[in-house]
Structure 1
């Protein structure tokens, strides 16, 4: 694959190259931050760390600002540069990814909120459902990490694997909810804690959905195929059918 510099040299304006790389770097930096936010929110719950939970909730404000900054930069580039073909798809994809990352930050904030509510219970509560939270949490953190790696490399196969893994998260989520409902029926004293854990699991399931959505944006950016409402089989076919485009203004990731 040509290097970033080789692809940039195809643009008339070197400043355009710089602008594209800046928004791409900003988005990946935001991704690293929200990935850490998810991990910290889960750790705050497991360890009953209210201080960490509060810090994680505060970090959501930074994610909101980063999304707004990226979106403004994307809008500015489109207005001033009028990019075509794959450059335009890259900018659109970055804007959409930033939106999904901001929503992952929102879900992390909700996890932290429920973690604080559990930690502030008047009496010490058993760690009901924590094993499920840790397991599903690890799955979605890995999805977020892998989809960001896929985006940095333009790796469609890796993006497809992330999209496919969302099905596993959904299955684990449904199984965990069934177990918690049974536990709650057997011991009504656990209702308050279990309801908070169920909301946490719901947020984790949504984070998996957003990681899948980011994978879909990457597939669109690289292949030009909009597969947002396609089945996994159709997504796989779109990836295998896609071929590199010979476009003089195309920007390709490392």
Structure 2
């Protein structure tokens, strides 16, 4: 990726190293979310425990990248597009770390719901989680290429996640009405569904950071139409 010419060639090396570490962190988070979904669907308690154990790796990567960004700001005093890249990276790793927390939460649900009845409730999360994993994969690909067109496409994928989330909630509400004794377990699944739905929102945030870096336009809180306007 071409960051432009700098007096110090080492500056480009440092920027590329940080960006590569972000992609490594993103790959780990995507794996964590996929493993958590598999553990929930297949009743794989050991895989769920692995997801919980590995959460510290995501946290450590966030801290490491954040420190690297701080050093490069202090040492290089970047301006213009370089500074936008650093700011986009700092915000991106925050969203990635929180997606990692969602994976841990799903894994804990898999560990804490041993009965077959509880597993029935959890099944409703699989299509929602699959869409969230796909959206995360696509936004990481857009970030790797800093592709604003791909970012705009991924941004709109959140509508599908929202629709699936609403369907999950309706299904769980039906379970609650059929047997109120199941309400505590169903509420736990509802909270997990909400956490997964938030993955889509965080992927949208990363799309906004990509557009901010490439176009220099802050489109937060402006919606899909603003993305189309910027890219026109």
Shorter-chain TM-score bucket reads over 0.9
1:74-113 equivalent positions in 2, closer than 5 A? 74-113=69-108
Paired position in structure 1 for 2:63: 68
What corresponds to 2:143 in structure 1?
A: 151
CA distance in 2, matches of 1:95, 1:126: 38
- The match for 2:132 is 140
Q: Report the 3-state secondary structure (helix = DSSP H, G, I; strand = E; otherwise coil) of the residue aligned with 2:125.
A: helix
Contact kept, 8 Å, 1:128 with 1:194, in 2: the verdict is no
Gaps spanning 5+ residues in structure 2: where?
A: none
The structure with higher relative contact order (CA 8 Å, sep 6+) is: 1
1:14 and 2:6 equivalent? no
Deviation at 1:131, TM superposition (A): 4.3
Looking at structure 1, the residues matched to 181 and 204 of structure 2 have their Cα atoms a distance apart, in angstroms, of 37
1:23 and 2:15 equivalent?
Answer: no
* Structure showing the higher helix proportion among its residues: 2
**1:22-54 residue CA offsets vs partner (Å, 9 max, x unmatched):** 100000000000001001111111111111111
Aligned to 2:157: 165
The answer on whether the counterparts of 1:38 and 1:105 sit within 8 Å (CA) in structure 2 is yes
8 Å CA contact 1:129, 1:176 repeated in 2? no
Contact map agreement 2:41 2:123 (CA 8 A) in 1 = no
What is the deviation of 1:189? Answer: 4.1
- The structure with the larger Rg is 1
1:8/1:17 contact within 8 Å kept: yes
1:168 positional shift: 1.6
With the length of structure 2 as denominator, give the TM-score of the two structures: 0.95
Q: May I ask how many residue pairs the two structures share in their alignment?
A: 232
- Match for 2:166 among 160, 174, 185? 174
TM-score (norm 1): 0.87
Of residues 173, 176, 192, the one that matches 1:200 is 192
Aligned CA RMSD, in angstroms, stands at 1.5
**Which ranges of structure 1 fall in alignment gaps of 5 or more residues?**
241-254
